[in-house]
Amino acid sequence: MAPPAPAGPLGIAIVGLGTIARAQHVPAIRADPAWHLCGVVDPAASLPGVPAYTSLADLFAAQPDCAAVALCTPPGVRLDLAREALAAGRHVLLEKPPAPSVTLAEALHRTADAAERTLFATWHSRFAPLVAPARQWLAGRRIDQVAITWREDVRVWHPGQAWLFEPGGMGVFDPGINALSIVTAILPEPLAMTRADFSIPQGRSAPIAVDLVMRHGAAPVTAQFDFREQGGEQWDIVVTTDAGLLELRRGGAELVTPEGQQSAPEAEYPAIYARFRELIGRGESDVDLAPLQLVADAFLQARAVGVPDYPY
Amino acid sequence: MAPPAPAGPLGIAIVGLGTIARAQHVPAIRADPAWHLCGVVDPAASLPGVPAYTSLADLFAAQPDCAAVALCTPPGVRLDLAREALAAGRHVLLEKPPAPSVTLAEALHRTADAAERTLFATWHSRFAPLVAPARQWLAGRRIDQVAITWREDVRVWHPGQAWLFEPGGMGVFDPGINALSIVTAILPEPLAMTRADFSIPQGRSAPIAVDLVMRHGAAPVTAQFDFREQGGEQWDIVVTTDAGLLELRRGGAELVTPEGQQSAPEAEYPAIYARFRELIGRGESDVDLAPLQLVADAFLQARAVGVPDYPY
């Protein structure tokens, strides 16, 4: 893999200056002395005081020292951008999901290895503050049952993002894969997808709600994802064990066990950028495709029913 | 893994005495002195002179020495049968596809490893006589392009098998996965699924025809699978290389290269049973999920259109 990076701040550019980039990536990079925000690549948006480019080629030509890019675009264009950045010798951080298919993500991982550059396929929800404590609490317990409930209003969280319901857009799996990224991180064994029921709005291609049945060893794991929740978000994982219930609530911001309750402020992206810097320093990649694999396996087995459209 | 099996013929039972079992599995087992056909498990069918059972439990109770089972049932019930056989300490041969999802197949593989028994997820088309020569010819060549055409009449090849078009039935991928099992065996690098267009008959859940675009490195790989061919079967793979065209035709029974043409009689299942015996002797499993992974990735990205039903 890549030789260790030089000490001092590494130059990184944001590609795709949308909501998630402005709200999370830019502040995390600016707050971390290990990084220097050296550019923004976007066809239409820019940040005051940061060099702006409309293509990766322009960025790389202007800044040979820009060592890394964070790809925050919609999923459809991410893969080509990642290939271009790796071919230009840059390290790449990917927003989730890492690619439109498992095999494309695996191919990108091989490309990064061949280029001796770091590829970091992030799952931001795994960096929620109480995910690691939940994993530690579950280690060594007998898992009897898991119930995942992930409900939010697509109108509130994804206004105008029609691509979500186009082919490959994954629909409610866009938030649901966050839940899958957490459960695959906190449970001791891999999950297997056994049944998937999809509700697909009239005239759209991707599900607005799904019910999943998985297995963790012989224990049942159910998941209910729904984009039509108008009563506030619910992002909860409840694990029944031989030592009682573990409840990981609010997407990993609150943890309840028989020993008590903890909550913590959101701090996913600072941890992600610390991890990216660490991976580069060690010449390693981090590409865990388990959450995407479960989604692919759900589509493979899907029993679909039509439901009324939910305009937004 | 399992200790080496004793010398002499091993007892094996056929589970699910349908068309493929009668036409292929039974003759292959009977022709191989390494095997002894010790039973048939089927709710309704039997073979003269072979002990018949209606459940795995009855078989195992009656014949503690029956060391292996070959699961030739429709896919829907195969997984539970495989778990039951492994739990009873038997080696398991699976017809394709090995499981309803990639993660379920991975879980079954872990179960076999934990039980120290052999699991052989077969892809019968890989044992077509000219697949190995095709792989050898392609090794070291530059692959520029691959075109797969897999067309047959579902009415001829799958009469009455309505489960093919139910959820999880995979539709035209039932034969198409044979093509994918061959290309993943003969090409030097892994494939990645980039686009899938599905034609789904009115009132059914699985595609009757698909057009796929994959990548082998940077080379395009296209596949056209169609169940509505009324002019005879076409099972062809054409690979464009720096040394000319390789054409693997008739599902692997005919090979054309610039050096000439070869053809060979079908002999898939004898080779499969020789391989199964070899795996058991070495205490190993063989579970390659690449073909199923590509199908899952196709469903994940599918752009579906409705087409008229094709009654059969």
Query: Could you tell me where the DSSP H helices lie in A75-153?
Result: 75-87, 102-115, 131-138
What pLDDT, in 10s, does the model give residues A13-66?
Answer: 999 999 899 999 999 999 999 999 999 999 999 999 999 999 999 999 999 999
Confidence of residue A7 (pLDDT cuts 50, 70, 90): low
Whether residue B96 lies in the annotated active site = yes
pLDDT of residue A288: 98
Say if residue B3's pLDDT is above 60: no
Backbone angles phi, psi at B170, to 5 degrees: 75, -10
- The number of beta carbons lying within 10 Å of the beta carbon of residue B256 is 16
Q: How far is B286 from chain A (nearest CA, A)?
A: 19
The rounded mean pLDDT for chain A is 95
Please report residues of A whose CB lies closer than 8 A to that of B193.
101, 103-104
Say yes or no to pLDDT of B2 above 60: no
> Which residues, 6 or more positions from B70, have their beta carbon under 8 angstroms from its beta carbon?
B12, B13, B14, B15, B21, B25, B29, B93, B95
CA of A296, closest CA in chain B: separation in Å?
A: 5
Average pLDDT estimate for A118-135:
97
Nearest by CB to residue B300, choosing from A215, A295, A303, is A295
pLDDT of residue A76: 82
Closest in A205, A295, A302 to B167, CB measured: A302
Which of B269, B278, B270 is CA-nearest to residue B10? B278
Q: Residue A168: its chain B contacts at CB < 8 A? A: 300-301, 303
Interface test with B, best of A80, A101, A205 (most B CBs within 10 A): A101
Backbone angles phi, psi at A243, to 5 degrees: -115, 20
Name the more confident of B226 and B309: B226
Q: Which among B106, B170, B214 has CB closest to A190? A: B106
Cα angle A285, A99, B209; round to 5: 140
Cβ burial, residue A233 (10 Å; 0-12/13-18/19+): middle
DSSP summary character for residue B22: I
Q: Give the CA distances from residue A10 to residues A35, A281, B312, in Å, rounded to whole numbers and listed in that order.
A: 5, 11, 63
Using one digit for the tens of pLDDT, what is the confidence trace for A242-294?
999 999 999 999 999 999 999 998 889 999 999 999 999 999 999 999 999 99
* Contacts with A261 (C-beta within 8 Å, 6 or more apart), sequence order: A254, A255
Residue at token pair 């396996």: A297
* Paired residues of A136 in beta bridges: none
**What are chain B's domains?**
10-121 (3.40.50.720), 125-265+296-307 (3.30.360.10)
Per-residue model confidence (pLDDT) at position B7: 66
What residue type is B165 in one-letter code?
A: F
Cβ–Cβ gap B104/A193 under 8 Å: yes
Question: Using the beta-carbon criterion (under 8 Å), do B297 and A192 form an inter-chain contact?
Answer: no
According to DSSP, the β-strands at B219-226 and B143-151 are parallel
ipTM of predicted complex: 0.94
Q: Which of B96, B151, B228, B249 is flagged as catalytic?
A: B96
Distances (CA, A) of A84 to A15, A23, A89, A147, B29: 12, 26, 9, 40, 53
What is the pLDDT of chain B when averaged over all its residues?
A: 95
Which residue is associated with the tokens 């030592």?
A243
pLDDT in tens, A135-182: 999 999 999 999 999 999 999 988 888 889 998 889 999 999 999 999
Digit-coded pLDDT (tens) for B53-103: 999 999 999 999 999 999 999 888 999 999 999 999 999 999 999 999 999
Which of B192, B205, B297 faces A304 most closely, judged by CB atoms?
A: B205
Tell me what pLDDT residue B6 has.
Answer: 55
| Residue that has been written with the tokens 């800044």 in this structure | A63
pLDDT at B1 over 70: no
Report the C-alpha gap between A287 and B268 in whole angstroms: 37
Return the pLDDT at B311: 80
User: What is the side-by-side order of every strand in the sheet holding B234-241?
Assistant: B260-263, B254-257, B244-249, B234-241, B143-151, B219-226, B209-216, B191-201, B302-307
pLDDT at A2: 47
pTM above 0.80, yes or no: yes
Tokens read off for A200? 């697909």
Q: pLDDT grade, residue A312 (50/70/90)?
A: confident
Q: Please indicate whether residue B159 or residue B41 has the higher confidence score (pLDDT).
A: B41
Mean pLDDT score, B141-155 = 97
In chain B, what residues touch A110 (CB-CB under 8 Å)? Answer: 190
pLDDT tens digits for range B221-250 = 999 999 999 999 999 999 999 999 999 999
